[in-house]
Structure 1
Amino acid sequence: MNVGIVILAAGASSRMGVPKQLLHIDGLSLIKRMTEMAMDTPCYPVVVVLGANRQLIRKELERMPITIIDNPQWENGMSSSLKMGLVGSYMTFKELEAVIFLTVDMPLVSVELIQKMIEKAEIVAEDRKESPDIVACKYNGQIGIPVLFKRKMFNQLLELKGDNGAKKVILANKEHTATIDFPEGKIDLDTMEEYRKFLSNYNQN
């Protein structure tokens, strides 16, 4: 299955107070770290959607074999970045069969998780007649990003508006959705306090 990755990195990080895409873990910015992880998977293309602070963030991605999409409408909500990333992926590679959406603020997303999602998307489970159209991650009693959507879901993603993100399409297609337990998904870095707490725990391990 031809699977692409879209990294959503257009937000202004208003709760963080500084562009979270540029915060460092292990000497790498979050945006570079996530992009390099994506490049280590078998997925193609890797598309990064930028918006706020795009000039600063773009410097982190120089000379990387990826597609960078500027979203001038990033302030209109998550749906605009999802759609720009999806269109950018398709324009880069027309044979695309599925796309995985990631955000930069979930530092424990790994190559292994991405591979598990792809494998789950290809398997017909005993209680199903066909393989799932969506594979979402499950954590903290909810399901969401990282999430894989097969091509037949693309039109629903393109119809999203405002701050509606991937979750709206997942909830509308529960019977076609498989999940993967990803307890580390509860760690996302929205505030400076969360970032410092993560670094403290991460450096102790």
Structure 2
Amino acid sequence: MTVAGVLLAAGEGSRLGRPKALVELGGTSLVARGVEMLAQAGCAPVHVVTGAADVELPGVTLVANPDWRTGMASSLLAGLASLPADVDAVVLALVDQPLIGPDAVRRLIAAYRDGALAVVATYDGRQRNPVLLRRDLWAAAADAAHDDVGARAYLRAHPDVVTEVECGDIADPADIDTAADLAALERRLSAR
């Protein structure tokens, strides 16, 4: 049961004023943090979908999304299409959620290994990211994706295939959309 990781990191970070992939938090870029999270959780291979920024990371497959301006759906499609045929499932993660660590991803993978088709991390019962999709769901998830809505459209339309896994005790889905968000996360990390 091969589980790959796809990190969606193509956006320009328009509200932040720079591509999120290149933003540093605690001396490490968000894209490097995301790759490390997926790899440490056991995802292999790990692919990074890029667009607005040139990213260089050793040991990682970079997937260029020339349509990144159209939104997350194009990155989802590019990431899924890039995976080898022997991958059975994929964990989809977003580059701008640096407080989600490998333990949360491991919980998703464990639920999949226990028979779940689609697994969504929840925080206090609220569905967020990352998500895991078994291969036989990829085409339907890709078909449902549009504009800036990725796998969420499919998952909301098919709650019968979704297994929720609570991760609020080990991870935080706070994302970085603005300079204020980044400053708040920097303060939280320095207080640890």
TM over 0.5: yes
Give the number of the structure whose alpha-carbon radius of gyration is greater: 1
Taking the aligned partners of 1:140 and 1:18, their CA distance within structure 2 comes to 31
> Which structure 1 residue ranges, 5 or more long, are not aligned?
124-130
Q: 1:112 to 1:202 in 2, by over 3 A?
A: same
1:137-148 map, 5 Å: 137-139=121-123, 142-148=126-132
1:153 is the counterpart of 2:137: yes
Which string of whole-angstrom CA distances, capped at 9 and with x for unpartnered residues, describes residues 11-38 of structure 1? 0100111222222122111111211222
1:187 is the counterpart of 2:174: yes
What is residue 100 of structure 2 aligned with on the other side?
A: 109
Taking the aligned partners of 1:110 and 1:186, their CA distance within structure 2 comes to 10
Which string of whole-angstrom CA distances, capped at 9 and with x for unpartnered residues, describes residues 158-186 of structure 1? 21232221111111221111111223444
Q: Report if the CA contact (8 A) 1:20-1:30 is conserved.
A: yes
What is residue 154 of structure 2 aligned with on the other side?
A: 169
Q: TM-score, normalised by structure 2?
A: 0.92
Taking the aligned partners of 1:52 and 1:148, their CA distance within structure 2 comes to 25
1:93-108 map, 5 Å: 93-108=84-99
Taking the aligned partners of 1:22 and 1:112, their CA distance within structure 2 comes to 24
Q: Report if the CA contact (8 A) 2:112-2:119 is conserved.
A: yes
Taking the aligned partners of 2:36 and 2:148, their CA distance within structure 1 comes to 27
What is residue 29 of structure 1 aligned with on the other side?
A: 29
- Choose between structure 1 and 2: higher helix proportion: 1
Task: Give the 4+ runs in structure 1 shifted more than 6 A.
Answer: none
What SS does the corresponding residue of 2:107 show, helix, strand or coil?
Answer: helix
Taking the aligned partners of 1:164 and 1:109, their CA distance within structure 2 comes to 20
Taking the aligned partners of 1:136 and 1:43, their CA distance within structure 2 comes to 16
Taking the aligned partners of 1:140 and 1:17, their CA distance within structure 2 comes to 31
Number of equivalenced pairs: 189
Which string of whole-angstrom CA distances, capped at 9 and with x for unpartnered residues, describes residues 69-116 of structure 1? 100001111111001000111xxx211110110011111121111111
1:75 is the counterpart of 2:60: no
Taking the aligned partners of 2:12 and 2:173, their CA distance within structure 1 comes to 21
Q: Report if the CA contact (8 A) 1:8-1:103 is conserved.
A: yes
**Amino acid of the residue matched to residue 11 of structure 2?**
G
Taking the aligned partners of 1:163 and 1:103, their CA distance within structure 2 comes to 13
> Which structure 2 residue ranges, 5 or more long, are not aligned?
none
| Identity fraction in percent | 31
Taking the aligned partners of 1:186 and 1:29, their CA distance within structure 2 comes to 17
Taking the aligned partners of 1:187 and 1:41, their CA distance within structure 2 comes to 20
